[in-house]
A = this chain, B = another copy of it.
């Protein structure tokens, strides 16, 4: 098992939490008291929620939107987590997917320079292209399988070899899991039936599940469909519903309790 998967599982047990907080911080939306300082806001959110958090997951788009300054904030945010809360699992939600040679540069930036434990990835170019991520025994590759957006069905529901494409990808990535136990899948909370079928396919492989909170996924339906037979190996991600709550610590506590009720 990869060091990163072990870190995720250890942390989930230690704080009895499947909660992943998406640090999708937009300077135009954070409380006025921060004067648009995303790094200060992130540190505050992290300090308010760390005791409940299994993982943090900044989405790179929110940082790239501010150019070099945003990139620095992303870097310093993950440094802050690694320094103060080294047991918390960190995911760069970058949804990358390029050629093998090029992916080596992304892996260097996100795994090595920034030190994230995991990255989200597109499957379209196949396993060979993802080698620079998948060959890492110390990290985790989180492959898009069934996304939570309204238009996900357009391609992901196409039938291939008598199953939907998302199920084919779940099977394919199950094979990768058997090689090194260093991958996970993204399956949206907004499709609990599909989530249950993915769980049947993948056994104990961890699943990252966005789509509750602002996106409208039902916590009970999604958590009960997404956990494995031991009530774990699931990361339930929420972003806006925590970040922009008037009391983020309290919002995280409520969600943490609600998730655990349905495991």
Name the one of B122, B128, B149 contacting A122, with C-beta atoms under 8 angstroms: B122
- A133-163 near B? 1/0 per residue, CB < 8 Å: 0000000000010011111111110111100
How often does this chain occur in the complex, in copies?
Answer: 2
Q: Is A99 an interface residue (CB 8 A)?
A: yes
Per-residue B-contact encoding for A189-216, CB less than 8 Å = 1, 0 else: 0000000000000000000000000000
Please give, as numbers and ranges, the residues of chain B lying within 8 Å of A67 by CB-CB distance.
71-72, 75, 109, 113
Q: Which of A34-42, A58-66, A217-225, A250-258 lies at the interface with chain B?
A: A58-66
Q: How large is the interface on A (under 10, 10 to 19, 20 to 34, 35 or more residues)?
A: 35 or more
B105 touches A125 (CB 8 A): no
Taking a contact as CB atoms under 8 Å apart, the answer to whether A151 and B126 are in contact is yes
Docked CA distance A123–B158 (Å): 13
A161 to B124 Cα, complex, angstroms: 18
Q: Is the CB of B122 within 8 A of A97?
A: yes
Q: How far is the CB of A116 from chain B (nearest CB, A)?
A: 13
